[in-house]
Amino acid sequence: MSDVDGAELRAGLTELFAAPFDGPHDDGAFNMLALGIFAWQYSRIPAYAAFCERRGRTPAELQHWMDVPAVPTAAFKEVALVAGDAASADAVFRTSGTTRGAEQRGSHYVLDTALYHDSLIASFEACVLPDGAAPLMVSLMPPATQLRDSSLAHMIDTVMQRLGAPGSTHCAGVDNGIDHERLATVLSGAETAATPVCLLGTSFAYVHWLDHLRDTGATFRLPPGSRLMDTGGYKGHGRHVAESELRDMYGTLLAIPASHCVNEYGMTEMLSQFYDSSLRDASLGRTGIRRKLAPPWVRTRVVHPETLEPVAHGHEGLLQHFDAANMNSIMAIQTEDIAVAEAGGFRLLGRAAGATPRGCSIAMDLLLEAVAERSR
């Protein structure tokens, strides 16, 4: 595998980052790139190579990206899955949880944050700023300087710095949470100046903030063109808030229409993100079901929870992602997220309940057994 050229792979990725977001996508080009990335990772990540060999899949035998073995997200808690020296990583992003026992945190070693930035900017522009807007960005997340191992904090800081209008700011901190007074001042100023705003934060943070607005009787009428991005689940104050209910609250308390409310789906183990189609569809004058859009450098399948084989279109299953931006870690990721495939993307339905799905459990066992054998 020594003939795999990292510079060529990076160049291929750069072309995909610049490709039209809605296609048509060149599946042949993606297949060649994905197989090259698989060979790159196979030759540089011993634990992954052992796993692939145990599955009977090697670069010499594969002809299509669909055959690349997917690694369960739980593996990032057990093994350093990085195509290089973990100590030289530009950043290390960690999953939530404790650092001990069954809840130990997964780690994603990012060797090249420039590649990460290229990926996230391309997707964010296409789905959150499809109209070319450069709004005032206001974050309900603490800055990345306070959350150094959070991929979300890093992502929000990057888009604010690259794409936000001057004055874009954070209105939250790790010690005191949301700064309601500062947030009200910033948004009131935007109202007065008729400056469109882009709010950024977790759904959990929005629930708490919107509850505060309702409790105090406060509302905002944010200028036309304002929008928001939320991410994560919809729980707060011990209650569940339906996604549609939260969008209604955005409209009532902030005057942001549902079309301009974009939910992001991402994970620490992946450098790419998926966004709701709503704002892009509205900008392009098209209609369609709200779904998560897949960028040109990612392929996603819905697979059976036991066999991990693709299910028939329209059927529920687990998401399996092939993210070329994960060039220096693991491209093929097996999740425990439930979804249904849709044209150009998927509808996210939630997480698998209870125990780890059988297919994911078997794949994880194979990985750990392969690592143990290689270390003997």
Task: For CATH 3.40.50, list the domain ranges present in the chain.
Answer: 131-283
Query: For residue 53, is pLDDT > 50?
Result: yes
In this predicted structure, what is the pLDDT of residue 358? 75
Q: Are 298 and 322 in contact (CB under 8 A)?
A: yes
- CA angle, 85 as apex, 84 and 90 as ends, to 5°? 95
Confidence class for position 103, pLDDT limits 50, 70, 90: low
Task: For CATH 2.30.38.10, list the domain ranges present in the chain.
Answer: 6-91+297-375
In this predicted structure, what is the pLDDT of residue 357? 80
Structure token digits, residue 69: 């073995």
In this predicted structure, what is the pLDDT of residue 100? 44
pLDDT tens digits, 193-236: 999 999 999 999 999 999 999 999 999 999 999 999 999 876 55
Better-predicted residue by pLDDT, 84 or 362: 84
Q: Are 292 and 266 in contact (CB under 8 A)?
A: no
d(CA 93, CA 82): 12
Query: For residue 99, is pLDDT > 90?
Result: no
Which CATH architecture group holds 6-91+297-375? Roll (2.30)
Grouping H, G, I as helix, E, B as strand and the rest as coil, residue 165 is coil
pTM of this structure: 0.93
Q: What percent of the chain has pLDDT over 70?
A: 94
In this predicted structure, what is the pLDDT of residue 133? 97
Longest dimension (CA), the chain: 68
In this predicted structure, what is the pLDDT of residue 40? 97
Q: What is the mean pLDDT of the chain?
A: 92
Of the ranges 177-186, 271-280, 339-348, which one carries the lowest mean pLDDT score?
A: 339-348
* 131-283 maps to CATH 2.40.128: no
Contacts of 325 (CB under 8 A, 6+ apart): 13, 115, 116, 119, 270, 271, 272, 297, 298
